[in-house]
Copies of this chain bind each other. A is one copy, B any other.
Amino acid sequence: MKRYLMTPGPTPVPEDVALYMAKPIVHHRTDEFKKVFDETKQLIKRLFKTENEIVMFASSGTGAMEAAVSNVLNEGEKAISINAGKFGERWGKLIRAFGGVNLELTYEYGDYAKVEDIKALIEKNPDVKAVYIQASETSTGTFHPIDEIGLMLKEKYPEVVFVVDGITAYGAIDVETDKWNIDIGITGSQKALMLPPGLSILSVSEKALKKIEKSNNRFYYFDILGELKAKWGNYTPAVSLVFGLNAAVKKILDEGLENVFKRHKLLAKATREAVKSLGLKLLSRRPADSLTAVYSPEGIDSSEIIKLMKSYGVEISNGQAHLKGKIFRIAHLGYFDKADILMVISVLEIALKKLNANGNFGEGIKRAMEILSE
């Protein structure tokens, strides 16, 4: 069975990047590695649109999220977390795990954070030290207005550290780290960066570093200052992934950052319009360009759709938590192009037809074709 991976991470690895990663392993305490390591950080800065320091951990994205909590918050310090999905919920868990006071703003899955809510909560709690949010909430395919939130914080509460999990955003959606006042921006290798999992990346501002310097929390492996002091990574870096990251970001910059964002915007639009033409409803009120979450038709378990699509080799994702069985998620971040969207939509249509749930047979793919031929 030929397989077509269309899940929101891991995502497909381009053949040239995979080959580059297969090159002989270089020892990590060598000038050869250091050169690539340093260059890769510079490349990441361009991708993140930041002048801030870059730190990489050999870990999944959650490792970087942990570092952004354990290094920043001290015991008893207050932080706001935005919980509008599975990954927002994780911020709260991390804050509590490291002794912080979690002021959680909860939104329905599919809804997005409101800047006024955050502002009001800080007004009531002027001792808030940090705000934790996702750029794109992967469990719902929602893009939070991190630009508005960042600019509000900059104007009203310049001391608050603004932490953005951009794991399904950086490299797919234009996230202007510095312009939007993002103190810590986070991503992982296995999303828009088109790599296997195993590498997490943070950008850290001067302001965040100052806060981190005063940390008295408990951590060892995820040590942001330690990584910055080390010449070439504090512990053994994921050498192959660093090489892969170097190749992948160069590939992105070769295509042109703005072209990459435009491509994601177009693929997202085609996907959204196609499913709407099939009479389906989007979950998100503010959809991200990196993945599309769609309600399963009335009375149909989304697992059935996913299973049928898998019988065509096409792998998409189910909902998480209480949305399991209720929605399905189609990814279009990273190594995806127009032809992939045409494929996934036509296979989706076939799956719906087999479930007697496609009254508009042919309309979804037609709409996608229209948009992608513009």
Contacts and interface: CB of A to CB of B under 8 A. Distances in A.
A369 B346 CA distance: 7
A66 to B, nearest CB: 33
A14 B1 CA distance: 10
* Copies of this chain assembled into the complex: 2
B343 A342 contact: yes
Interface string A335-374: 1111110110011011001100000011001101100110
A98 interface: no
Interface residues of A, number: 30
Contacts of A314: 339
A2 interface: yes
Nearest to A311: B338
Interface of A: 1-2, 4, 14, 22, 312-314, 335-340, 342-343, 346-347, 349-350, 353-354, 361-362, 365-366, 368-369, 372-373
26 contacts: A1-B337, A2-B336, A2-B337, A2-B340, A4-B339, A22-B22, A312-B337, A312-B338, A313-B337, A313-B339, A339-B343, A340-B343, A342-B342, A342-B343, A342-B346, A343-B343, A346-B346, A346-B368, A353-B369, A353-B373, A354-B373, A362-B369, A365-B365, A365-B366, A365-B369, A366-B366
